[in-house]
Amino acid sequence: MVVGKGKLKAAILRHVETHRFSCEYQPLICISDGEITGYEALSRFQLDGDMVPPSIVFATLQADPTLFFMLEARSKAFQIQHRPSNSQLFVNLDPHVCEEPWQVDHWAATFAHHPQLVVEVLERTTAKNLLAITRLVERLRKAGVRLALDDVGGTHNLFSFDLLEQIQVLKLDGGWFKRLEEPGYHQLLEGLLAFTRERCIQSVMEGVETNEHLEIAQSLGVELVQGYLFREQFREVEGPAPKLPIPPMDGPTEL
């Protein structure tokens, strides 16, 4: 059993070195016709025989950005390699793996040549992370990559108007279902969705777990829904990730 941060980091390193990864593809459903329009790729981890929640893995690695980047670089290569065909693919990036200019260049090169790819960027609570996200967004936009702002309205997340101006997809955190019990939040969300429609920003409601949640999403007029209500349509993939080329050692590229 994996216990302690030190042992967990060692298990993660072994995981990276063996190039074996797991991924769950969760469908995004068009609310008007019930058809699948895309999938979000979510990493799953079995370390030394134990299933470890991704949240624990990522929280452990936030203090080790080098190992975090190594894991995410291979995970994203695996997710793209095994993507469901003929659908949009949504992948998410933590700001901790985008802090250095050379890392941003890596992601731009990785994502730029894949059609129907959407990169979800996460907002956290520090100015440093917000700066990293802004640099990433600017670089990916120049590379022609579609962008989504993830977990809008979620706990501990910021809301940046500057980032809102740069995205093509807005993903609403499932916590809105609880907030909508208060009339003021209902009006706030309706206004935000009116903005997305005026700007032709695609809207996605996450965390749809019940038919009641689905009815609320329909009443709000969101375009896509995602969540465990559709778990029978989840896809799981496990296998070797492609090995990545060694990056050049001539120093970071300036943004």
Residue boundaries of the structural domains of the chain: 5-235
Percentage of the chain lying above the pLDDT 90 cut: 61
- Stated pTM of the model: 0.89
> What average pLDDT is seen over the chain?
88
pLDDT in tens, 182-217: 889 999 999 999 999 999 999 999 999 999 999 999
Answer yes or no: is pLDDT of 86 > 70.
Answer: yes
**Joined tokens for residue 221:** 């007029």
Phi (first) and psi of residue 42, to 5 degrees: -125, 125
pLDDT in tens, 123-139: 665 666 777 788 888 88
Nearest alpha carbon to residue 20 among 83, 70, 81, 75: 75
Q: Which letter does DSSP use for residue 30 in this model?
A: E
Give the best-scoring range by mean pLDDT among 11-15, 58-62, 224-228. 224-228
Nearest alpha carbon to residue 30 among 204, 168, 199, 152: 204
Mean pLDDT value across residues 95-115: 88
Which run of H or of E encompasses 129? Answer: helix 127-142
Mean pLDDT value across residues 61-72: 91
Please tell me the predicted confidence (pLDDT) of residue 204: 98
- With beta carbons less than 8 A apart as the criterion, state whether 101 and 252 touch: yes
Q: Which letter does DSSP use for residue 85 in this model?
A: T
CA gap 53, 40 in Å, rounded: 17
Please tell me the predicted confidence (pLDDT) of residue 124: 62
Helix 183-198 and helix 211-220, axial crossing angle in degrees, nearest 10? 60
pLDDT in tens, 143-166: 999 999 999 988 777 777 888 888
In this structure, which CATH number among 3.30.1330.60, 2.60.40.1180, 3.20.20.450, 3.40.50.300 belongs to the domain 5-235?
A: 3.20.20.450
- With beta carbons less than 8 A apart as the criterion, state whether 103 and 132 touch: no
Mean pLDDT value across residues 26-45: 96
- With beta carbons less than 8 A apart as the criterion, state whether 69 and 14 touch: no
> CA 114 → CA 63, 107, 180, 252, distances in Å?
31, 12, 37, 24
Q: Please list, residue by residue across 39-70, b when 16 or more beta carbons sit within 10 angstroms of its beta carbon and e when fewer do.
A: bbbbbbbebeeeebeeeebbebbeebbeebbb
Phi (first) and psi of residue 91, to 5 degrees: -125, 145
Answer yes or no: is pLDDT of 250 > 50.
Answer: no
What 3-state DSSP class applies to 2?
coil
> CA 201 → CA 32, 164, 223, 232, 250, distances in Å?
17, 9, 10, 28, 39
